[in-house]
Amino acid sequence: MSPARWSQPISLIRLEGDDTRRFLHGQSSQAIELAPTGACLPTCLISPTGRMRALALVRLDQAGADLLVIAGDGAAVHQALDRVLFPADRVKLQPVQPATLVRWIGTPAAGNADDPNLLSPGVDLGAGASQPAWLQPSGAALPGWLEALPELTADAAERQRIRQGFPAEPGELNDSTNPFELGLAPWVSLNKGCYVGQETLAKLATYDGVKQQLRGWRTDRTGPAAADACAPGTTLTTAAGERAGVITSVLAGPDGLEGLALIRRGALEEAELLANGSNAGGPALAIHRPAGFVAPPVGAGGLS
């Protein structure tokens, strides 16, 4: 693909005060408390049972941190943080602010590498492994080197997301999935101690308990009938008729349909699955592992 960029609205939540890092450390999946000033860390905001609520980047500075909610409901995240913030906590939670996350492919970042708006969390954000992104505050202009890149269409940006396997709500990121199922192992620390959802994620790693994983799918079938047969929520089966998973995202293109699906553990080695079951006339889907998917950890202490 030629060099290009694409933009996504996100929510920025500012936290200030001496307890900011400790507070975020306990409310998210990443080791934040002892991280250095200037770090940008990827983290999951999850329920006590390890279910996904949001994906975020934490940008640390001397006065506090910016919590950048890049997938999920920023207002709901803010409300949840405010609910558990006690008067004794030396943290000031600011209102949600709109911002934009700009991703790009095909060209390295130029300009000032120390600019705090150049985010380098070290994970795949949908543009490739370790590719940085740009935080564009509301009302701010893009730097010239980034403005010069052409903007992808909405379909092209969605195709890039699907092929990298970056989860989005509501299909992949919802209250029925956990980080390891979505290929987000680098967003989770298993060694940092207690945090919301820690016990569940530790058990999943220790006992190899991940029951489904995110996969990509593709078919050369086109047209309304094929699209209906591959709509999100559609059940997938093996050739033997066994339930294998469910479609979570779909995108139509000139050469067919493609998307993402959550595939049951017993069907992960299947090269092909059937949409709508073997007797419903649905298309056969070629299954593959997305480029950005990271395998779930096996054994506690496997991550830092």
pTM of the model: 0.93
Closest CA to 304 of 22, 24, 30: 30
Examine the pLDDT at 293 and tell me if it is beyond 50. yes
Examine the pLDDT at 278 and tell me if it is beyond 90. no
Tokens of 221: 């079938």
Summarize the chain as % helix, strand, coil (round to 5).
20, 35, 50
How far does the chain reach from its first CA to its final CA, in angstroms?
33
Strand (E) or helix (H) holding 158:
helix 154-164
Residue 220 is predicted with a pLDDT of 95
Closest CA to 22 of 61, 56, 64: 64
Instruction: Give the Cα separation of 143 and 111 in Å (integer).
Output: 8
Mean predicted lDDT score pLDDT of the chain: 92
Question: Who contacts 159 (Cβ-Cβ below 8 Å, separation ≥6)?
Answer: 251, 253, 258
Residue 299 is predicted with a pLDDT of 59
Segment 156-213, tens digit of pLDDT: 999 999 999 999 999 999 999 999 999 999 999 988 878 887 888 888 888 888 999 9
Give the rounded percent of residues in the chain with a pLDDT score beyond 70: 95
Tokens of 235: 């059940």
Instruction: With beta carbons less than 8 A apart as the criterion, state whether 258 and 233 touch.
Output: no
Structural domains of the chain sorted by starting position, each given as residue range(s) with its CATH number in brackets: 4-152 (3.30.1360.120)
Examine the pLDDT at 302 and tell me if it is beyond 60. no
Angle (CA) 275 280 285, round 5°: 20
Residue 303 is predicted with a pLDDT of 36
Asked which of 113-122, 273-282, 289-298 is least confident by mean pLDDT, the reply is: 273-282
Residue 235 is predicted with a pLDDT of 95
Phi, psi for 150 (deg, rounded to 5): -65, 150
Examine the pLDDT at 301 and tell me if it is beyond 50. no
What DSSP character marks residue 126? S
Give the rounded percent of residues in the chain with a pLDDT score beyond 90: 78
Contacts 24+ apart (CB under 8 A), 44-47: 44/179, 44/184, 44/187, 44/188, 45/69, 45/72, 45/77, 45/80, 46/178, 46/179, 46/196, 46/197, 46/201, 47/175, 47/196, 47/197
Segment 72-103, tens digit of pLDDT: 999 999 999 999 999 889 999 999 999 999 99
Residue 300 is predicted with a pLDDT of 42
Closest CA to 246 of 264, 223, 258: 264
Asked which of 111-115, 116-120, 231-235 is least confident by mean pLDDT, the reply is: 111-115
Examine the pLDDT at 246 and tell me if it is beyond 80. yes
Examine the pLDDT at 113 and tell me if it is beyond 50. yes
Examine the pLDDT at 110 and tell me if it is beyond 80. no
